[in-house]
Amino acid sequence: MQNKNTVKVPRCRFCSSTLKQTFVDLGMSPLCQDHVKPEELNQMEPFYPLHAYVCENCFLVQLEEYVSPSVIFNDYAYFSSYSDTWLKHARDYTELMIDRYKINSKSFVVEIASNDGYLLQYFVKKGIPVLGVEPAPNVAEYAIKAGINTLVRYFGKNTAVEISSTHGNADLILGNNVLAHVPDINDFVSGMKILLKPNGVITMEFPHLLKLIEENQFDTIYHEHFSYLSLLTVLKIFDYHGLSVFDVDELTTHGGSLRIYAKHKDDGTRQISEKIEILKEREISVGLNQLEFYSSFTKKVKETKWKILEFLINTKKTGKSIVGYGAPGKGNTLLNYCGIRNDFLDYTVDRNPHKQGNYLPGTLIPIYHPDKIKETKPDYVFILPWNLKAEIMNQLCFVRTWGCKFIVPIPELRVFG
């Protein structure tokens, strides 16, 4: 009989090895998109460990699954269509796929985690048959209203079989920022194997672990992101499930992402790009296949926290006002880890009306419409979605008329006039 006080030993979600090596421990944190409604302000919030491990066998960096996806995505607040930069990225991707792989009206395109239809809308406008697979019902509703065929499901082997039997197999399967979001990565990848046509193509985009480490992007670690991926590890995962990664693009999105291209192993119609070997060698040369490489990250994260707090304390002591811009997942990790509440940030703003009027989880900083900045004329705007800093600074260029400056916290704190 098992002792009820026995601590469960975490295991790697890919290879099942015991997880013993810490990558970084960011303490306890709430779910990053679980915004607090006004009537919930006096209620207790659940906090969960934000402790990332690195597997000593396959080098997959990962969090334990403390909260099931059904809880995380039940009432999801992230809508992709509120970022102009991201919409342009989606349009460009659509044109690339149509041109490179001759996707046309006879093709079938499936997007996993299709959100509010931000990307599939561009395929639909070209008369290309699509299916979105989106687990969050409130988000999927917007895509369905826009005329985008959407299935409200979590993707895996069972869903793949269902789609294959009702719609047929896919010429193109795509997923942007979903591979990191699935706790059962083996079920997910094997589902894509089932759904893909014999000569079909899979593209997956995800933040690059190497960039996370090099650019000190610790705030991209939150409970929705179960895994943090290098090319080396993704090659192992796809190979295990009978898929071959044949090409890779390095992207600027989300602070530095990879887009991988995959096919069935026995599909001889596509050659392996030399870019695969070049990036593999780069990852190996910096040490992504060595456990020691991962051990220094914690020190960098602590030093960043100290510098951010030092700046905020000194600025507030001079009587200056600071407000936030955005209510992204990464912002909530940074604010909760650093202990930044409305004693430092008076409020934050966001273009997404689904977030306005609520409060950030954990810190309880109020979220307003961006017009609030014109009303209060702060001295500083702290940009939480730092990956969109150029877009945001352009949107808020008017704040410079009263001498307001921008704070960008990652990779290191910088102030822009």
Which one of 294, 329, 350 terminates a domain? Answer: 294
- Together in a domain, 227 and 103: yes
Distance CA 17, CA 249 (A): 30
Q: What total of structural domains would you count in the chain? A: 2
21 within some domain: no
Which one of 294, 313, 344 terminates a domain? Answer: 294
- Together in a domain, 270 and 320: no
146 within some domain: yes
Which one of 233, 265, 294 terminates a domain? Answer: 294
50 within some domain: no
113 within some domain: yes
412 within some domain: yes
- Assign residue 386 the CATH number of its domain: 3.40.50.720
At what angle are helices 157-166 and 185-195 packed, to 10 degrees? Answer: 20
- Together in a domain, 116 and 201: yes
**pTM for this one?**
0.90
Q: Nearest 10 degrees: CA dihedral of 51, 54, 60, 66?
A: -20
Q: Tens-digit pLDDT profile for the chain (417 aa)?
A: 445 555 678 999 999 999 999 999 999 999 988 899 999 999 999 999 999 999 999 999 999 988 777 666 655 555 555 577 888 999 999 999 999 999 999 999 999 999 999 999 999 999 999 999 999 888 899 999 999 999 999 999 999 999 999 999 999 999 999 999 999 999 999 999 999 999 999 999 999 999 999 999 999 999 989 999 999 999 999 999 999 999 999 998 888 999 999 999 999 999 999 999 999 999 999 999 999 999 999 999 999 999 999 999 999 999 999 999 999 999 999 999 999 999 999 999 999 898 999 999 999 999 999 999 999 999 999 999 998 999 999 999 999 999 999 999 999 999 999
Closest CA to 236 of 397, 14, 47: 14
Q: Which residues face 206 on adjacent strands?
A: 258
- Together in a domain, 91 and 219: yes
- Together in a domain, 168 and 317: no
Tokens 């997959």 identify what position? Answer: 60
16 within some domain: no
Its domain, for residue 313, covers 298-416
93 within some domain: yes
- Together in a domain, 386 and 411: yes
- Assign residue 111 the CATH number of its domain: 3.40.50.150
189 within some domain: yes
Rg of the chain taking only CA atoms, in angstroms = 22
- Together in a domain, 380 and 278: no
